[in-house]
Amino acid sequence: MIPKYSFLKVIDTSGARVAQVIGFYGHQGGYASIGDVVKVVVKETRGEKTPEGSMRKAVIVEQKYPFHRKNGSYVQYTRNAAALLSEKGQPIGSRIKSLLSVEFVKPRWAKLRSISKRLF
Amino acid sequence: MRVEKCWFCSSSIYPGHGITFVRNDATVFRFCRGKCHKNFKMKRNPRKVKWTKAYRKLAGKELAEDATFEMEKRRNRPEKYDRELVGKTLKAIEKISEIRQKRQDRYYEKRMQKAKKQQLQADKVQLEKEVHLIKAPAGIRAEKEKLKEPVRQADTSKDAMEE
């Protein structure tokens, strides 16, 4: 449940550290959840790969608010985190430092899964 | 569908219950209910919290090591579906849980054997100390007689009034 202007920790190796959500893709306003693609502004970086102030797409990978799974369980993480994507929707980084959830089993996220460890 | 174990109290988590928490180092904690979740957030150690299975096993109050527990290990390799195997496994599960229950009961009985003796001794001590609270049977009878008298008197007075 991530609203506009909230800060997300960037957990891939794209160089960015903190990104701020400025818009949503796929639906208007309200909140974004795990697996949603959002438009972000990179607020803090380490290195030259993604300059500060640049706008990118990102996919939300972790969320503090418990999200509901169809088997009835609720899952929550300790932080709100995202992985940066290119304009086409492919991840920029080479590794993801997180335990991805089963929401990323879709073929759309095949590349994202390949750079992560395992799905939970 | 898998029935998980609660990280805090070790009870079974059925579908639709509890919260799963994923920590930043990718460890997954499953809780069966808010009580366990809240205790975890308070950073309590389940081995020190008396109502959890972890404490009871550590303190020797429950059967901790047994061959029947080894059979309930989590196996991550999915078996190819075989109807016979499934049938046999179901029967085995029933039998094993029966055996496990019997062994646990026996363990409990053994542990409680000393309790009978202790209870007897405690009763003796209590009897000697508090014998003044007990009334002798003759005294109880005398009290009953006393209670009956006013009732008889009231009856006679009633008869007198009716007349």
- Chain A, residues 46-105, CB within 8 A of chain B, namely 62, 66, 71-79, 98-99, 101
Would the pLDDT of B161 be above 70?
no
Which one has a higher pLDDT value, A105 or B152?
A105
Q: What pTM does this model have?
A: 0.75
Would the pLDDT of A117 be above 80?
yes
Other CB atoms within a 10 A radius of the CB of residue B157 amount to 10
Query: What does the pLDDT average to over B85-104?
Result: 93
CA distance B13 to A56: 41
For residue A45, CA distances in Å to A91, B29, B62 come to 17, 32, 54
Would the pLDDT of B138 be above 90?
no
- Between B21, B24, B26, which is nearest A76 by CB? B21
The CATH class of A2-95 is: mainly beta
Residues of chain B with CATH 2.30.170.20: 1-61
Name A30's Cβ contacts closer than 8 Å, sequence gap at least 6.
Answer: A3, A24
The CATH class of B1-61 is: mainly beta
Residue of A34, A64, A79, A99 for testing the chain B interface, max B β-carbons within 10 Å: A99
Tokens 């009956």, residue located: B148
| Res A74: pLDDT | 93
Would the pLDDT of A21 be above 90?
yes
- State chain A's mean pLDDT as an integer: 91
Would the pLDDT of A27 be above 80?
yes
Q: In the structure, what pLDDT confidence band is assigned to residue A26 with cuts at 50, 70 and 90?
A: confident
